Structure 1
Amino acid sequence: MSLSNLSAYMNRSTRYVLDNTAKILRMEGAKEPSRAPMTLFTFQTREDLKQFATGCDADIGGTSTLHFDLDESPERNKGISGDLATARFWGEMRLDVRPELRGRIRGGYAGFRSKPRPSLFGEICDDVSNHQFLGLRLRLGGDPRLRNSYFVNIQTDGPVTTDLWQHRLYFKRSDGEWEDIFIPFDNFILTNTGELVQHQITMFRERIRTVGISLLGGNSGVSGAYDLGIHSIRAVNEEDVTKPPSMEKDPSFGA
């Protein structure tokens, strides 16, 4: 293990101890649960981006491309006060696959998600049980035909590792500027390996394991250049929602 990885591992171990100590104190009534906004992930440094894994259909024989970079462009980052860099998720969404795999696999997807966070005492998870909404600050670019093909995905620390909570990202803006999107945690749909789970249950928000965003052009049959800026992912409550949230459950989920 490299020195930088060892340092990150020990930092996570320290956080695990502090977080669990805080939970014990709350159980004893020493402190009321906080409703303050909780920042889950930021995307301002290269170290921030190392917390995420990426993948697309090219990994199994598709032809889409994927880039996940630190974006220091003043033009694309205008409107983000105080932050000089964000993440940029971009590439080409293609539905075709290599000739020898046609009819055997389906192309048309790309995505990124946070990596699991092991520590000396156990895996770090986020407790958002005191928060109502997932808040994302995003910038939509690329081919406008792809705007309805983005989904946000949440994995909880449950017994079925292939379970994924999913919700479509509904963008309001079409001018390439930054916007905040708020989604009630209760409106996420439980899926498993791309299929809707018949018996829906309540999300276990006490232990959020990973969060990510996927582009599913293959589901909607749309290809083209995609370009998404990501500033932050947070958990918030109603008093911190600055724009109307996505209030309806969307059954049109993707794989």
Structure 2
Amino acid sequence: MFSFLRRTVNVVGESSLKALRMDGLQGWQKELPMFTMNTSKDLQQWVIGCDKDIGGFSEAKLEITPEGVGKFSGNLSLELPANTEIQQSGYAAIRSKVRPSSMFGTPCFDTTLFRYLALRVRGDHRKYFVNIQTDGVIQTDLYQHRLFLRNPGEWQTVMIPFRDFVLTNNGMIQEDQIEMMRERVKTVGISITDREDGPFEIELDWIKAMNTETTEGDMDRRPRETTEDEVDFTKSTH
């Protein structure tokens, strides 16, 4: 109970600071940092799962590399457990933990002012998905998008438009595609379910909500242009 009240006080404090800073009036922003994976403390904010949890034979782990980045790796096995109720195996995933709630609800990320979910990653040739869970009514709903790695083995920043994520439930694409509650992003994760036996490895540095210079959420923007007066002023200062 004490921790719940303390979290509530923290939420009130953060909201007050935002009001004093007038965060809502700051206008265009380039990025919203969401997660880093550079320390053991960072990894404590994540959970790992694979079919071994239900009797399967896949293995998965999350650790910090000597370079100081997170590495999600393991081995997928399509072998089915003895439990005849299990019809499919061979998956592994990580996701950020749901942050502790207060009387104001579950803390979420408001990504409405940003167009892309950006990930700094280095992976292999396996097929991965990015998963977003919102604070919606159906907790098993996930918004998913393929994590396309154009240069396996090299670091790259992958930027996925939020509006391109597809609503799924238990791995199945839903016929009724409900728009993502981008103001209530609760968790982000990465999964591998490519139906192939063998090892996998993907490294992750950070995750952010981002704009480019020409985007502001789903709206396009024109970068501010230098006026003639500003050009003349610039010249006169040299």
Q: Same fold (TM over 0.5)?
A: yes
CA distance in 1, matches of 2:25, 2:43: 33
Aligned to 1:69: 63
2:26 to 24, 32, 53: 32
Aligned to 1:215: 192
CA distance in 2, matches of 1:161, 1:167: 18
Task: Say which SS state the counterpart of residue 153 (structure 1) adopts.
Answer: strand
Aligned to 1:104: 86
CA distance in 1, matches of 2:10, 2:64: 26
Q: Give the TM-score normalised by structure 2.
A: 0.80
Count of residues in correspondence between the two structures:
213
Asked if 1:238 is matched to 2:212, the reply is yes
Task: Say which SS state the counterpart of residue 48 (structure 1) adopts.
Answer: helix
Which consecutive residues of structure 2, in runs of 5 or more, have no partner in the other structure?
216-238
CA distance in 2, matches of 1:113, 1:29: 28
Letter in structure 2 aligned against 1:150: Y
Distance 1:240 1:14, change over 3 A: farther
Which residues of 2 match residues 129-148 of structure 1 at below 5 A?
Answer: 129-141=112-124, 144=125, 146=126
Structure 1 consecutive aligned stretches of length 4 or more whose deviation exceeds 6 Å: none
CA distance in 2, matches of 1:192, 1:22: 37
Percent sequence identity over matched residues?
A: 39
CA distance in 1, matches of 2:154, 2:10: 35
Shift of 1:25: 6.8
Which residues of 2 match residues 37-186 of structure 1 at below 5 A?
Answer: 37-72=31-66, 77=67, 85-98=68-81, 100-101=82-83, 104-121=86-103, 122-141=105-124, 144=125, 146=126, 149-174=127-152, 176-186=153-163
Asked if 1:227 is matched to 2:204, the reply is no
Q: Give the TM-score normalised by structure 1.
A: 0.75
CA distance in 1, matches of 2:84, 2:101: 42
Which moves more between the two structures, 164-173 or 15-24? 15-24
